[in-house]
Amino acid sequence: MSLAIVLINSEAGRESELLEKIKKIRSVKEAYIVYGVYDIVAKVESESLEELRDVISRRIRRLEGVRSTITLIVVS
């Protein structure tokens, strides 16, 4: 099992819309709007590191409204 925390910056005013899209992604277990440097924090879990990379690179980062992401891979 692979786990990552994804910190997401969104376009201004699109946080709620983007949060709903992110929550619909199967591997996203939790997602929240937060205040601070980032707009959304998501917990992503998958069967393998390859699948995790695919979800983050091809599903989350390509959503309309995502400006940037930082991914933290959980190691223990």
**Predicted TM-score (pTM) of this structure:** 0.94
Segment 2-36, tens digit of pLDDT? 999 999 999 999 999 999 999 999 999 999 999 99
All structural domains of the chain with their residue ranges: 2-73
Residue predicted with more confidence, 71 or 76: 71
**CA–CA separation, 56 vs 73, rounded Å?**
11
Instruction: Say if residue 58 is exposed, middle or buried (CB neighbours under 10 Å; 0-12, 13-18, 19+).
Output: exposed
Record: fold of 2-73: Alpha-Beta Plaits (3.30.70)
Segment 33-65, tens digit of pLDDT? 999 999 999 999 999 999 999 999 999 999 999
